[in-house]
Amino acid sequence: MQRPVEIISATAVAARIEDLARNIDAQLPPGPLTVVGVLRGAFVFMADLVRAIPRDITCDFLGVRSYGDATVSTGVVEIKSDLSTPLEHRHVLLVEDIVDTGLTLKYLLDVLAARGPASLHTCALLSKPSRRQIEVPVDFVGFEVPDEFVVGYGMDAGQLFRNLPYIGVMKS
């Protein structure tokens, strides 16, 4: 398999997460927060993000499958493992690695909104706006990236490269 080419350094990612955390803390209603990470891609980002938000935080995870091991969205979202805690009356931040077509985030937002949270916001490390197929609010975005397949910092190509400390692209 080809090797990824770095487009965003580990240092740049870390600096941007500090900004995101500050904005999130300033803009969300005060009080304890439940951060919901979308597995598997968001686990690295979420680990760094929650440590930068100075509040009482509980963490939960949703396991979804939207692509299989392909690099093109099928538009079908399947919840493989659900949250282990109720969201009712909680302030909730849904954390994604990347918003591409928007289909996954839109689906998950609708599912979580139906569970009666006190507030519901979304945060994605990356966004590919040129690829959007459906309008979905992303309240906090780390970086906008062009229409290329990105890996690293939690994101994979065929389950590889999640452990890279930087964000790279697969060049064909």
95: contact with ligand IMP by CB under 6 A = no
Q: Counting contacts by CB under 6 A, is residue 98 touching ligand IMP?
A: yes
Please check whether residue 40 is in contact with residue 104, taking contact to mean a CB–CB distance below 8 angstroms: no
Q: Is residue 154 within the footprint of Mg ion (CB under 5 A)?
A: no
Residues in contact with 4: Cβ distance below 8 Å, sequence separation at least 6, in sequence order: 151, 152, 157, 161, 164, 168, 169, 170
Task: Please give the residues from 65 up to 94 whose contact with Mg ion meets the rule CB under 5 A.
Answer: none
Within a 13 Å sphere around the CA of 21, how many CA atoms are in the beta-carbon half? 18
Residue 46 in contact with ligand IMP, rule: CB under 6 A: no
Q: Which of 61, 140, 149, 153 binds ligand IMP (CB under 6 A)?
A: 149
For the question of residue 139 being annotated catalytic, the response is: no
Contact 141, 155 (CB under 8 A): no
Amino acid at 87: L
Question: Cβ–Cβ contacts within 10 Å for residue 30, how many?
Answer: 8
Binding residue for ligand IMP (CB under 6 A) from 100, 108, 141, 164? Answer: 100
Q: How many whole angstroms separate alpha carbon 86 and alpha carbon 24?
A: 22
Q: Is the Cβ of residue 32 or residue 110 nearer to ligand IMP in the bound state?
A: 110
Q: Which is nearer to ligand IMP, 2 or 29 (CB)?
A: 2
Contact between 152 and Mg ion per CB under 5 A: no
Catalytic residue among 19, 82, 97, 100: 100
Residues serving a catalytic function are 100
